[in-house]
Amino acid sequence: MMKTTFKPRPILLSVGLFFSGAILSVTTLSAAEQETVELPEVEVTADKKSDTKPVKGYNAKRSTTATRTDTELVNVPQAITVITRDFMQDQSMQSIADAVRYVPGVQAAQGEGNRDQLVLRGNQTTGDLFLDGLRDDIQTYRDLYNTDRIEVLKGANGMIFGRGGAGGVVNRVSKKAGWDPVKDLSVSYGSFDHRRITADYGQGLSDELAFRLNAVYENSNSYRDGVELRRYGVTPTFTIKPDDKTEIVLSAEYFKDERIADRGVPSFIGSDSSNLNNRPYRINDYDKFFGNARLSPTETETVAFNSAISHAFDNGVKVKNSTRLAYYDKYYQNVYARSSVSTAGTLQLGAYRDNTKRENLINQTDVTYSAKTGDIEHTLLAGIELASQDTTNKRITPAGGENLGGTVTAENPMLSGIAFNNITRDQKSDFTATAFYLQDQIIFNPQWQAVIGLRHDHLNTRYTDLRPANFANINVSDNLLSPRAGLIYKPTADSSVYVNYSTSYVPRAGDQLVGLTVSSATFKPEKFINKEVGAKWDITPNLALTAAIFKLERENVLAADPSNTGNSILLDGQETTGLELGASGKVTDQWQIMGAFTLQDGEITERQANATAANVINKGAELAMTPTRTFSLWNKYQINDMWAVALGVVSRSEMYAATPTVGQSTILPGYTRFDAAIFAKINPKWDAQINIENLTNKDYALFAHNNNNITPGAPLNARATLNYHF
């Protein structure tokens, strides 16, 4: 007779044990007369994510600027710094120039006292400014009243931004309408009759519609004689969410900026011991205006309409379409120092008026899709950009030209009775761009990632010189390929080491044509190549450290003529190498910091021999406005629920005002400046702060436009702000 042995299978055994336990439990409950056991209540809380203030504190974790997708900064293979709304408010920032003081590798320049002008890794630019990822490149000043944060991407990146993006880009992210209520009113008053008021109001009007309105008015004077500022703006924004997969954001802006174009003080000939380099003339006499403040007005009017429509399909495809239509109307007139101060104490003045009108129409469509090939994850991006820019520009001088002739004394450096009636430039440019781009963000495994992209731009520039005696009509087309490749190694989930290669081109269009002696040869685009190695570490969830070593090469450089003719010249090449360190966030629950340190070396790589003998730029000449060392650190300490204090330091080494030539160079001495602030939380509705700049009342040169237009730094000054949350 056969004997059978039964071996229970694990799954059957598990099921049997489950039912046996269940029967046993029922039996036990019956025996205990089914006694009820009450458990204590547990309250689970979490911070609600605000749709009107997405970033809190000094440390942003994510960005779309670098990749066009929502990406953690630690996974971006390129240096990027985010200036948050909290940091801007704590610093009482008034401008883009204020913000970039705490960005490694970035300097502000004077911009002739009529525009934002930045130096990113040794490259001066007025065109690499964006708003919500769309170009905003008129030469003017931007206010921060409607800015939620500023994202600064360093190094060439034509793959994302197309033309421009050479030394980097500055992208302002607008405040957005949402369902988290915003009801803020701020009033500030300070030294030199600084007077400013801003309002920020927003709420949900229904489950599908939210509204927000931001407005600003400022009427201020300056530490510089005769210099004043008046500006006002309003931006209404609507967010529409017909369902949980669709979002429509509509906004408009009217903004007007009126001020005196202040080009600072000149230099003084041979003022150092070697008698080779000039220095700023009497920088301690910071209030003296050289020229005529009353005859140096500048005004810009901006009218813009923006839309962003996004939708997520059920199959994982996401589509976003963004449009910006902007009209800019600007003029500036100035009477300014055109030469250095001679040993006899005299100098020459110059004068002109410049008018620009521009219309920008830009449309971008991005399609993203997440996919897997085996164990490899992909975030795919495909996009198209269509852009049109029409610009007219006219320059008018006195009858004898921009150089007024004769001299004035440095003790009384003023001329009046100047008539502007001689048209020296009258030009028009029509620029169109059609671009296609592809990008893949690849996750090979938890340790290795990559970002690979390629963009093709078809650009067409049509230039016309409208002066009858100089009439010219030039039509130039370019087809440009901009690759980008980055490899990321992640030792841990919150750290990364990366290498990156990227390129960008700057074609001649709009402001790039101003001052050029135009011919077909001068339309050849500038090319930029960025090579970078870096590391990022979120040392805690609220504190981030970054480091980058870079080499940025530039070919076919368009630069200001150091002879101060008002024209531009073409250089064969330049190169900037450097080290950038950054820190942002909370060191402890009470202590927040924002810091930046840069070591860099920028130089001309080929001798420029096309200028006059006195203005030859030799190989190895240092780049303008590119100091070897910069350092900034802001510390805010929360003493208790009511009081907080802050201390900041801003420092840089000496730098050249313009790329030095055989004939002339001007050095801006290095400086270290200390700032401070006190904060008081009076009650839930009221808070106040006092910001103090230049605590030691140091005399220093802040920045320059060329050898003889140097802006003195402001003396000791303070600004008080009262905030009401209703």
Q: What are the helix (H) ranges across 436-583?
A: none
Question: For a pLDDT cut of 70, what percent of the chain falls above it?
Answer: 87
Q: What is the pLDDT of residue 209?
A: 98
Can you tell me the mean pLDDT for 39-50? 59
Amino acid identity for residue 657 in this structure:
A
Q: What is the pLDDT of residue 20?
A: 38
Nearby residues of 28 by Cβ (< 8 Å), 6 or more positions away: none
The two tokens of residue 517 are 């002696």
- Quickly list DSSP for 410-427: TTB-B-------EEEEEE
Nearby residues of 30 by Cβ (< 8 Å), 6 or more positions away: none
pLDDT per position as a tens digit, 301-317: 999 999 999 999 999 99
Give the pLDDT band of residue 40 (cuts 50, 70, 90).
low
Q: What is the pLDDT of residue 721?
A: 98
pLDDT per position as a tens digit, 664-682: 789 999 999 999 999 999 9
Give the pLDDT band of residue 291 (cuts 50, 70, 90).
very high
Nearby residues of 475 by Cβ (< 8 Å), 6 or more positions away: 460, 461, 462, 463
Give the pLDDT band of residue 343 (cuts 50, 70, 90).
confident
Q: Is the confidence at residue 561, as pLDDT, over 90?
A: no
Give the pLDDT band of residue 34 (cuts 50, 70, 90).
very low
Q: What's the burial of 247, exposed, middle or buried (CB within 10 Å: 0-12/13-18/19+)?
A: middle
pLDDT per position as a tens digit, 203-250: 999 999 999 999 999 999 999 999 999 999 999 999 999 999 999 999
Strand pairing category for 134-135 and 123-125: unpaired
Residue-wise over 660-692: b if at least 16 C-beta within 10 A, else e?
A: bbeebbbbbebbebebbbebebeeeeebebbbb
Q: What is the pLDDT of residue 32?
A: 41
Nearby residues of 3 by Cβ (< 8 Å), 6 or more positions away: none
Q: What's the burial of 344, exposed, middle or buried (CB within 10 Å: 0-12/13-18/19+)?
A: exposed
Q: Is the confidence at residue 653, as pLDDT, over 50?
A: yes
The three-class DSSP label of residue 160 is helix
pLDDT per position as a tens digit, 187-206: 999 999 999 999 999 999 99
Q: What is the pLDDT of residue 472?
A: 87
Q: Is the confidence at residue 550, as pLDDT, over 90?
A: yes
pLDDT per position as a tens digit, 590-641: 999 999 999 999 998 887 765 455 667 888 889 999 999 999 999 999 999 9
Q: What is the pLDDT of residue 616?
A: 77
Cα separation, 490 vs 376, in Å, equals 16
| Full set of structural domains in the chain with CATH | 62-725 (2.40.170.20)
Q: What Rg do the C-alpha atoms of the chain give, in angstroms? A: 29
Please provide the average confidence, as pLDDT, over all residues in the chain: 88
Give the pLDDT band of residue 162 (cuts 50, 70, 90).
confident
Q: Whats the size of the chain, residue-wise?
A: 726
Cα separation, 14 vs 471, in Å, equals 92
Q: Is the confidence at residue 549, as pLDDT, over 90?
A: yes
Asked if 445 and 121 count as a contact pair (C-beta separation under 8 A), the reply is: no
Find the distance separating the first CA and the last CA of the chain, reported in whole Å. 93
Cα separation, 589 vs 586, in Å, equals 6
- 3-state helix, strand, coil split of the chain in percent (to 5) is 10, 55, 35
Asked if 644 and 655 count as a contact pair (C-beta separation under 8 A), the reply is: no
Dihedral (CA of 616, 617, 618, 619) sign: negative
